[in-house]
Each structure stands twice: as structure tokens, then as C-alpha cells.
Amino acid sequence: MTTPLIIDTDPGVDDAFALALAAASPEVELIGVTTVFGNVSLENTTRNALRLLTLLGRDDVPVGVGASRPLVHPHPHLSSAHGSDGLSGFAHTLPEPTRDVDGRDAVTLMRELLERADRPVTIVPIGPLTNVALLLAAHPGLKPKIGRLVVMGGGVNGGNVTATAEFNVWSDPEAARRVLVEEDVPTTVVPMDLTRRCAVSAEWLDALARTSGVAATLVGLTPDYLATYRRFLGWDGMAVHDAVAVAEAVRPGILTATPFPVDVDCSYGPNRGALVVDQRLEVEAPKTLDIAVDADLDGLRAFLFERLSALR
């Protein structure tokens, strides 16, 4: 039996690979996509989501438009890693969508999908956590319908947008704290410490592009993102952060997770947006979250390649 899946996203190059992985995986049923501000503006993330779903032959999946800004403070700036349109300036190479967004906003769409679901739904937030925080605040009675959250975000040992904060959590720390610290939904956090270790090489991307027209189009969205990660990694490759989180949703246990107490720094100082993971051996805490800390990296890359190369 398939697992119903909702992806909350801000596409984004790695989001594009994450959506493609979900579309290519028979273990899950992609029942909804919701968009949020993040890598680029909400207008661009929504347009990118629609175009990507058309490329993937999934115009049947409803797209709900979500938050255009964080819960409390204005968003300081958008990411430059993904280019001006979120897809390295190549969003125009995707097919024009044959439909518009769903009439329901992101929270309403998620609520109705959860209400109708006949089995627990996995939600995979791969952008700022604003939409999910609003859902849980407005509809706490729906929490039993959520099988688990698989969240791409946070850095255990440092960040990428500041010395301590990862982009998704930093973009709306108050929302992240609401979801990760204050709620009681089963949650696995996939931090950038692990996703960066699962970076793929330019050769991997070239080989993927040769497998199909859809794969070639996806790889064609990567130039700006790849250039950024050449500097970060020191070699010719790029991280596919969000696809790693979707891989865990598709195949639970493909990542090795360890429970830790966590907090999110919501102060207005240099550590704002940091995911604080208490790694002490002995600590009393009212709540822990599963933090993905390891994986068979070669096996994970092979899994991603096998699924993405099947796209037609």
C-alpha cells in the first residue's frame, strides 16, 4: 500500500529533483504540493512548482499557494544559489502548465487532503516551515492524520546562510520552533550536515542527463546552483538536499537517525535560526526528534539515480 505524500516546497533546483523523485517512486502517492516563499519569491516558487509537475506528467496533483513571508519578521533576503528565477535562469525551458493553482490556499489544501485521507499522510517540508506551522496551529485536531514529518532543514554543526543557521530554518525561525520544538507530531529532521555529504558529481549529473529527455531537462536547471556548490564543496558537484529528505519519505530508514533534544534560536542575534541539537550523552528532555545523521552514501546516490533515470 502506498503512502500518501504532501510536499511543501520553494523550488529551487534541489526541490526540482525532490519533486521528480516523488513522482518516480511507486511507494508513495503524491497527493498535493504546497508552495512557500524561500529560495525565490512565492510567485516564482509557485510557477516553478506548476511547471515542474507538468514536466513530470503530474498535472493531476493540486498545487496550493502558501505563505509569502515569515510568521513574524520580514525575510532578510532570498537565496542567490538558485539563480534569479529559482532554476538557474532556465525555468523557461520547462513546459508551460496546462492548469492554474488550486483554488484552496496551502493550509486549506493540506487540511482537506488530511481529512480525506484513509491512512496516515507523510508531509515533507523542504522550504521554510511557515505553512506547516500555520496548519498545526489552526488545525491541531488533524495531527493524528499525519504519519510523520520529514523536514529538510537545520545544521547540527553549523550553517550555510550564517555561521550557525541553515537557510530553511533561518528563513522563519519562529515557524521552525513551533513545528520542531512545540508540536508533538512524529518528525525526522534531515540536516544539511548529511545532505551535503550526499552531494552528486558533475559526472553523475551528465550520466543522468543521458537517460531521458525529462532527466536532461532537470539537469539543465543546475548551472547556477552547480557553480555555487563548486565553491562550497571544492570539487565539481552539488548537494541535492531536498531529494535526500524525499528519499527518506519514500523509503523510511534509508537514512540512519538518532533521537536528540532540539531547540531553535529565535533571538535577534548572530545565532538566529540555528538548530540547537543537544548531543550530550546523558540529558533529560521532555521531547526528542529523530535527526538523520548517517547513510550509505553510495547506496543513496545509486537509489536517486535509479529512480530519476526512470523518468520519461
- Residue tagged active-site, from 73, 75, 139, 241: 241
Determine contact, residues 37/128, Cβ cutoff 8 Å.
yes
Q: How far, in Å, CA of 270 to CA of 71, rounded? A: 20
Closest CA to 161 of 278, 77, 73: 77
What is the tally of helices (H) and strands (E) in the chain? 12, 12
DSSP-assigned beta bridge partners for residue 135: none
Exposed / middle / buried, residue 268 (Cβ in 10 Å: 0-12, 13-18, 19+): exposed
DSSP 8-state class, residue 74 = P
Quick check: is 75 catalytic? no
Closest CA to 250 of 24, 55, 56: 24
Q: Which residues are catalytic?
A: 241
